């Protein structure tokens, strides 16, 4: 254990919420929309510098302009299915700010199933599994290697889903089961290096992926016990705490924010 030689560990003290992530640099895949973008906004407000990643450069640029952040936000084009380019992309991202580091990785890139079980094609199956499960694995691997090489004690937060608690008959559900298991395994492997790995599992959330858009006048959802969608900002607020130093003792856990969907009921 790398911690064995340390004789004293400082006792953490409460931190002002607006300074939870002071001095941190966060890389967020899937950061140009929905939950990923909400996390970028929340991280900035809590003092972090933020790099959003995705595949659409025009959209990333537009989102960066919305984030503003006084020079504290940037973007990089990363396709999480393109494993061979990840290491170089991570180095490029780390060099975007004077700190020359990445303290936080959020694996938020994801796609959802559109076809039923009997109609699922191999192409759709591969796209979902490669993005949601394989992409999360290899992004985590690449960033973990970077953190270890640079002696950074950081955080990795995987975005899974309440679907990881339901019978899995779609590749989306299967991929989220995989991420839940990987979160446990990666936390075990990386904690000795001071890298804390966890997951956050939203239920139905008011994002474009589920057909909810900015300006909609209701977040009513008839199939969840809470009778509404979660808001991306609610997910982001919990995520901000989880990737801060105050979340260091949350290890290998998946925090559910589902309105009861998947936790007290399998439906929704």
CB-CB contact of 28 with 36 (8 Å): yes
Q: Which helix (H) or strand (E) holds 156?
A: strand 155-159
SS3 state of residue 260: coil
Kindly list the catalytic residues: 172
Which residues fall within 8 angstroms of residue 241, CB to CB, at 6 or more apart? 20, 247
**C-alpha–C-alpha distance, residues 28 and 36, integer Å:** 6
Q: What six digits make up the tokens of 7?
A: 């004789």
- For residues 235-248, one letter each, b for 16 or more C-beta atoms within 10 angstroms of the residue's C-beta and e for the rest, the string is bbbbbbbbbbbbbe
**C-alpha–C-alpha distance, residues 100 and 153, integer Å:** 14
CB-CB contact of 199 with 175 (8 Å): no
Edge-to-edge strand list for the sheet holding 49-54: 73-77, 49-54, 25-29, 104-107, 155-159, 196-202, 254-257
Which residues fall within 8 angstroms of residue 105, CB to CB, at 6 or more apart? 26, 27, 28, 29, 139, 140, 143, 154, 155, 156, 157
SS3 state of residue 28: strand
């Amino acid at each position: 254990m790398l911690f064995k030689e340390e004789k004293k560990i400082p006792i953490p003290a409460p931190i002002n919420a607006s300074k939870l992530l002071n001095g941190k640099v966060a890389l967020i895949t899937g950061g140009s929309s929905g939950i990923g973008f909400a996390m970028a906004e929340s991280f900035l407000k809590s003092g972090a510098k933020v790099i959003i990643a995705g595949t659409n450069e025009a959209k990333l640029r537009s989102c960066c302009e919305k984030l503003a952040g006084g020079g504290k936000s940037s973007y990089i084009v990363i396709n999480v299915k393109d494993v061979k380019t990840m290491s170089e992309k991570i180095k490029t991202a780390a060099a975007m700010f004077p700190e020359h580091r990445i303290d936080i990785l959020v694996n938020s890139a994801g796609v959802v199933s559109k076809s039923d079980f009997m109609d699922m094609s191999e192409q759709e199956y591969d796209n979902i599994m490669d993005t949601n499960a394989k992409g999360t694995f290899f992004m985590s691997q690449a960033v973990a290697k970077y953190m270890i090489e640079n002696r950074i004690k950081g955080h990795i937060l995987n975005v899974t889903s309440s679907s990881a608690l339901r019978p899995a008959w779609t590749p989306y559900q299967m991929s989220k089961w995989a991420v839940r298991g990987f979160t446990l395994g990666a936390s075990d492997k990386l904690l000795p290096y001071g890298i804390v790995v966890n997951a956050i599992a939203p239920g139905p959330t008011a994002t474009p992926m589920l057909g909810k858009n900015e300006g909609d006048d209701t977040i009513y959802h008839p199939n969840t016990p809470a009778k509404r969608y979660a808001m991306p900002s609610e997910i982001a607020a919990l995520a901000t705490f989880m990737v801060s130093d105050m979340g260091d003792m949350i290890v290998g856990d998946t925090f559910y924010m589902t309105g009861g969907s998947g936790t007290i009921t399998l439906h929704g």
